[in-house]
Amino acid sequence: MNDFCILDYTVPFYFEYENIKIYENSWNRLTEDILIAIDCLNPKTTEELLKFKYEWSKQDVFSKTQQVNFTFFKGIYLNTNHSATRAFMNIKYLLTKYNVDLSKCILIIRKHPAAENIEVKTYYRNNTIEEFTRFLQLNNKSQKTIDSIIRTIETLNKVLKMLSTSFNDFFLFENEYYLFQKAQEQTLEKCKRIYYGREKNIEIAKYALNYLEIFYRKRDFYKKLSLIILPCNFKETIENEINYLFDKLNTEIITSAKLYSRMCILHSENMQMLGCLENEKDFYTLAELLLRKKYFFNNSFITRNKTEQSSNEKLIIEYATQLDIFSISDLNTYIEKMRLQKLDNYLNLMKKFSNDYVQIDEETMIKKDKFLISKKELNQIEKELLFYVNSFGKIKSKTFVGYSNLPNLSYKWNKYLLLGIVNTFFRGNFIIRYIGKSYKTIDFSLEKGN
């Protein structure tokens, strides 16, 4: 596997290294499968992975945030936004970073259908149209609508041929989703010029290609779905459990992990009938297919309200603001219960809460209107801190010994309480300079504000 070559118009077939044997016909999925396998042999932390950079472009291999064509892995995202050649380079890079001996690897590839002869192309083309038709049927499209969509795509193939001599048939992209996206974008731009002033034609083109885009993006899922028979009343069962979680948790947002976990516990026999779809990712896609007219699905979240933003942080903040007092331990318990991802930085979260909550110790915050302090005590604290800053230039939390000059409160004085009071009540009078990035190890200094 040491030799480098141009691999455009190819797809993988088989990869082998020691006891790892993977059959896969998508470069991106092969990359993901190889990474999972070699990380089991030689695990790396997310901190180590985030330091990876491609030698040829100096771009990050992993990202903390979701981006287009990035794949979730160990709480972060792997860049799989590659052509065939770049995907091969990506695999080779990852194997090298995991200290895998490339001479012991076997990779078998084959030509992409678009590069095959007429007979082979016809086979792949007919197979794609057949699968695409089943996909449209599952999406409750009438035969008349299906025929219309396929005719529209056949017409768009004539436009695509003006743009490319290789990938010139929308039914021959197989698993090359990245290349399909580019062809879709370029074709629609060309249509805008060809059909200038005829907006209806452009909308028809967008409508047809949008369904084909969803099909290619989720093709593996629909192949699996065609192999099983859904349990009786399964749609109603999922809907009932979603509504239960909304009501029980008193929220407008739930995670796919929470729903999947509940379904596995309470409806194990039905879930087992899903066969190869009995995993969280495919179950979420199935729930979306069955109930997308009832709920809104986005990034592994399910919401009642389309405008409701779905994110880990939003769910955590929504929960915390219902409480008069909370600790980081409380939030972690909730995160585990809801099957959310832990936040990268609780210190930033505590800063966001400081307008309405006061930090009183290392990990606890209390609502501002529930915080036991008088106006007289606040004035006394402010006066004492300003005197200290004017006299010594700044207050360093690590060496500050002036707590005895501050009024006795219902809470024991500590650096976190000092930080909390300044953050919530005196932010405009002092500049806070943080030392450290973790809420557990934070130190800070206070300087006079403008």
- Give me the pLDDT at residue 2, please: 47
**Cβ atoms < 10 Å from Cβ of 39:** 15
d(CA 392, CA 386): 10
* Residue-wise pLDDT tens digits, 387-421: 988 888 899 998 888 899 999 999 999 999 999 99
What are the residue ranges spanned by the domains of the chain? Answer: 10-111, 118-224, 234-310, 375-448
Instruction: Tell whether the model's pLDDT for residue 98 goes beyond 70.
Output: yes
Reading the block at residue 322, the tokens are 């219902």
* Residue-wise pLDDT tens digits, 166-223: 678 999 887 777 778 888 998 999 998 988 888 898 999 999 999 999 999 888 888 8
- Give me the pLDDT at residue 13, please: 82
Lowest model confidence (mean pLDDT) among 3-12, 134-143, 336-345, 382-391: 3-12
User: Do 421 and 436 form a contact (C-beta atoms < 8 A)?
Assistant: no
Range 356-360 average pLDDT: 92
Instruction: Tell whether the model's pLDDT for residue 448 goes beyond 80.
Output: yes
Reading the block at residue 102, the tokens are 């490339």
Contacts of 363 (CB under 8 A, 6+ apart): 327, 328, 329, 346, 439, 440
Instruction: Tell whether the model's pLDDT for residue 145 goes beyond 90.
Output: yes
Average pLDDT score, the chain: 86
- Give me the pLDDT at residue 20, please: 92
Calculate what percentage of the chain has a pLDDT beyond 70.
Answer: 94
Range 92-119 average pLDDT: 87
- Give me the pLDDT at residue 133, please: 93
- Give me the pLDDT at residue 95, please: 95
* Residue-wise pLDDT tens digits, 4-22: 456 767 778 889 998 899 9
**Banded pLDDT at 124 (limits 50, 70, 90):** confident
Range 16-34 average pLDDT: 88
Reading the block at residue 391, the tokens are 């006299």
- Give me the pLDDT at residue 379, please: 93
- Give me the pLDDT at residue 56, please: 81
Percent of residues in the chain assigned helix, strand, coil, to nearest 5: 55, 15, 35
Strand positions, DSSP E, 48-124: 62-63, 70-73, 76-79, 105-111
Range 269-293 average pLDDT: 90
Task: Please give the C-alpha separations between residue 141 and each of 50, 134, 148, 184, in angstroms, as whole numbers.
Answer: 44, 10, 11, 22
d(CA 81, CA 293): 30
Phi, psi torsion values for 273, nearest 5 degrees: -70, -15
**Banded pLDDT at 310 (limits 50, 70, 90):** low
Reading the block at residue 331, the tokens are 């939030």
